[in-house]
Amino acid sequence: MLCYFYFYFFVAFYVLICRNYKGDVDMSEIDHFLTLLMQQEEEGLMCPVISHGSVHFMWIKHILYYFDCLFTSVCLSFVCMFPVQVFTEYFKELEEESIQDNFVVVYELLDELMDFGFPQTTDSKILQEYITQEGNKLEVAKTKVPTTVTNAVSWRSEGLKYKKNEVFIDVIESINVLVNANGSVMSSDIVGSIKLKTMLSGMPELRLGLNDRVLFALTGRDKGKTVAMEDVKFHQCVRLSRFESDRTISFIPPDGESELMSYRINTHVKPLIWIESVIEKFSHSRVEIMVKAKGQFKKQSVANNVEVRVPVPSDADTPKFKTSTGHAKYVPEKNLVVWTIKSFPGGKEFLMRAHFGLPSVENDEMEGKPPITVKFEIPYFTVSGIQVRYMKIIEKSGYQALPWVRYITQSGDYQLRTNA
């Protein structure tokens, strides 16, 4: 397998770094990638795998750059994904300058991520134990192999000790909603993840139970408060055979922060914050905007840091605002009115009015009708109703540990189209 990792700029294209693992692909094949990518863009198709004869390009885009992997046989997507994640953990900002300043570390990492073209150590925390950014420590790495690499449990070091043993569980759900101009929900889904922060001594085994619909079907219990999860993905620490047999999520956790699992729920979702808008444009004169926001979630919950972003014509000026709560401001560089509400209780309604002057020459620039977008976060609440039923912590020393659970629902791609 020949893997390339490189950057593409708007004004230039060149290979910045590359690593030839097996030498079974001609090095000149990379020259075809840009042409093939531009052809895809012109045709409106952006497939993550592009083929050129018997050679395949698997690529991902990170900000303005492209990472690409060339291969002639089956290759998994994480071959491209993991270098991006690991480099970001090491250098914070993944850009041309950070790669050039740390090229020695980059090639050390590429050699550890892949062994003769096969994925090897992909956890950045493990890599940081023996590949550092100090040159003198890089020499030590060649003779000293960390215990996590030779362990049966490669994602966790042995001998960890904490004075206070705790586990923090965050259940985070993002709601994606697209509402058309008539007020009908065109598409909606929920993307969730369960994240851990573990501070546990020794080598504990954890067992996590959720109100999963398949589990309740297996046990014959009531399905009234169960959740059907799709596209479930687990961290490598989870024992998949145990989950498939009895739906128990059993694992030895990584130390510190990690994502235990992710899932998707493809279901009709009622927009948690409903937006009604009236946008009137008066030719050669002004535009008037009225936006009403209503919390369509339970009254006991409160949405924090709500932002309602309303598009306005690019030639608007002299803004005037009136709000029943919160604060509205004009962001001219983005052609937006941003209405901010720090605390939005469920069941409440709020109103914002905006007035803009327009120049004497009419500008019809709002073709395409950009949608209103909403950002928010609701703590102690999940829109799907998923719940952590139990968390058991088993460790041979028998210490007592405290599990803490937090639920958060936040906006994902949350758009409401207008008639403006």
Q: How confident is the model over 98-130, as pLDDT tens digits?
A: 777 777 777 777 777 776 666 676 666 667 766
Question: For residue 179, is pLDDT > 50?
Answer: yes
Please say whether the structural domain 166-269+383-416 has been given the CATH code 3.40.47.10: no
Annotation: CATH topology of 273-379:
Immunoglobulin-like (2.60.40)
The pTM (predicted TM-score) of the whole model is 0.66
Q: Is 335 left (phi over 0), alpha (psi -120 to 50) or beta?
A: left
Question: For residue 172, is pLDDT > 60?
Answer: yes
Annotation: CATH topology of 2-150:
Beta-Lactamase (3.30.450)
Query: Which pLDDT does position 141 carry in this prediction?
Result: 42
Q: Where are the domains of the chain?
A: 2-150, 166-269+383-416, 273-379
Higher pLDDT, 60 or 218: 60
Query: Which pLDDT does position 98 carry in this prediction?
Result: 76
Same CATH fold assignment for domains 166-269+383-416 and 273-379: yes
Higher pLDDT, 12 or 206: 206
Q: Could you count the other beta carbons within 10 Å of the beta carbon of residue 263?
A: 22
Highest mean pLDDT among 88-102, 204-218, 281-295, 296-310: 296-310
pLDDT tens digits along 227-254: 777 888 999 899 988 888 877 899 999 9
